[in-house]
Amino acid sequence: MSQTHSLSSRERCPRASGLESLLPLVSSVEETPEPIPTTIKGTIPAWINGSFLRNGPGKFEFGDDRYNHWFDGMALMHRFHICQGSVTYCSRFLRSDSYVNNSEKNRIMISEFGTSAMPDPCKNFLERFLSRFQLPKATDNANVNFVKYKGDYYVSTETNYMRRVDPQSLETKEKVDWSQYIAINSATAHPHYDHEGASYNMGSSYGRSGYFYNIIRVPPPTTATEDSADLTGAEVICSIPAAQSRKPSYFHSFVMSENYIVFVEQPIKLDLLRFMLYKIQGKPFQKIMTWEPRCDVIFHLVDKHTGQESEVKYRAAPMFTLHQINAFEDNGFLVMDMCCGDDGEIIGDFTLENLRRESVQEMDEFYNSLCRNLPRRYVLPLNVDEQTPLDQNLVTLSYCKATATKTKPGEVYVTHEELHGDELLQYGGLEFPQINYNKHNGKPYRYFYACGFGHVFADSLLKMDVRTKELKVWRYPGLYPSEPVFVASPKAAEEDDGVVLSVIITPRKEKSTFLLVLDAKTFTELGRAEVPVNIPCGTHGVFNEMG
């Protein structure tokens, strides 16, 4: 049988007590544009040669204007350059239009996720009133991730704008508008890459014919002739109509195996009518997101090579997911692992007011109100047709407890397997999963690495064995790690031969940041590179080999 629980993921994790304030981790910092040396403790393996690039919000006010939400902060890019056992650090603010305009006017000029820009006081009353009825200009404050298309690095958020960047100097290059290449209005900051070098992503589009979720393919890099952004050849390979065109689902990422892409249509909804109303009222984007647990999850299965969507609809109980772990095919089944929660209200909760609570009691209450995300496995049978019997479990993989049952022609209901043991609950669940991507993305795998959430921000690093569901843990009081990134060793023979990199920050002591290097196999510390700067809590990062 599959594993189902009457308790939500939050109720299954222990309640916290005595949590410390995280105010310093969500405060503005200065950039460090020129590389500075770090102090090495322990040993940084000499074979690591490249740059650990990180992104995230780093400035939360302009003049007297303050941002409301953590996602709104101006993008600050970080680079830890590792070579021959030594490490240097630098950082730069992305010179987005948002950053430049805000800096010039010393006020917030462009709306972000949780903060609406107020009409320009230099305009007359009529101009300010009419500006309420104009569609807001999408931000290019790309503070979520570093992504790669055709060999070039970009920083990305979830609008139609990206910024090309130099991964060595962190210099901001040209602004790129997806809609100049393909008919989409937004794209995720979590593309996937295949072994031929093509990139896949998902974006949304809307118009008179409705709202669509689009699968995008960008071809592999060609020999570059000039130093400029190039998304030519990008194409939409499949458009999936939203189940509710006026209330489409929010999505942050998607599933990809060797031959399939799966879009997860989940019950976090974007209320488009409310969007238009809130624009007139000057309310922020986050307010249009609603959690509607009356709606099932729908997994849309698409052939990656033909762009053809399966006629079978795979349904599951309401849940929400931000990040996928991995997916692979096995003997006529698609196995999908992802971090899931039972309460999709979480995204709007990360306001700076909440994150900066200084009272222990208030911080405990806030943390204990949040959803906990746990790893789950879903299995989709790929060969469902008229002859497939009704009302019996179709999953025959011996290592899977997940189920899939054909409930009527063209519809399969799936239940998940918990991809963890009870030990994980004491670490508050997990998020920000990473794998040995180059060797195991879209293929069978054994290990993933993630952050444990015993506080509002991650307070531990975890290694999960998906076969045995055993954990290895790195955790020390007062230390808050970033998303772990795996780097394989040059002569790796096994999946976990390599290191895990994470940036560790603390609210307890000024300028006490360090880059942590763990042995991926034993999950013990090899060394750290201490850097005398303050770094706010960030989002995602990548390792750029030979950077």
Question: Residues annotated as binding site?
Answer: 190, 252, 323, 540
The span from the CA of 426 to the CA of 321, in Å, is 21
Report the phi/psi class of residue 372: left, alpha or beta, with left for phi > 0 and alpha for psi in -120 to 50.
Answer: beta
Helix (H, G, I), strand (E, B) or coil at 35: coil
β-pairing, 57-59 with 186-187? unpaired
Residue 491: how many other CB atoms lie within 10 Å: 7
With 0-12 / 13-18 / 19 or more C-beta atoms within 10 angstroms meaning exposed / middle / buried, residue 473 is middle
The span from the CA of 338 to the CA of 320, in Å, is 10
Tokens of residue 274, six digits: 């409310």
Tokens of residue 233, six digits: 């050849």
Comparing CA positions, the residue from 451, 450, 439, 453 lying closest to residue 488 is 439
The span from the CA of 546 to the CA of 52, in Å, is 10
Q: Would you list which residues are annotated within the binding site for Fe cation?
A: 190, 252, 323, 540
Residue 135: how many other CB atoms lie within 10 Å: 8
3-state secondary structure string across 121-150 = CCCCHHHHHHHCCCCCCCCCCCCCEEEEEC
The span from the CA of 76 to the CA of 99, in Å, is 11
Comparing CA positions, the residue from 498, 484, 452, 455 lying closest to residue 471 is 452
Q: Which residues pair with 375 in a beta bridge?
A: 339
> From edge to edge, which strands make up the β-sheet containing 460-465?
430-434, 447-452, 460-465, 471-474
**Cβ proximity of 90 and 264 under 8 Å:** no
CA distances from 358 to 23, 70, 354, 362 (A): 7, 16, 9, 7
Tokens of residue 16, six digits: 């916290």
Comparing CA positions, the residue from 377, 297, 369, 309 lying closest to residue 338 is 377
Comparing CA positions, the residue from 347, 359, 286 lying closest to residue 23 is 359
3-state secondary structure string across 217-243 = EECCCCCCCCCCCCCCCCEEEEEEECC
Residue 440 half-sphere exposure, CB side, CA atoms within 13 Å? 17
Cβ contacts of 181 within 8 Å, gap of 6 or more = 231, 232, 234
Helix (H, G, I), strand (E, B) or coil at 10: helix
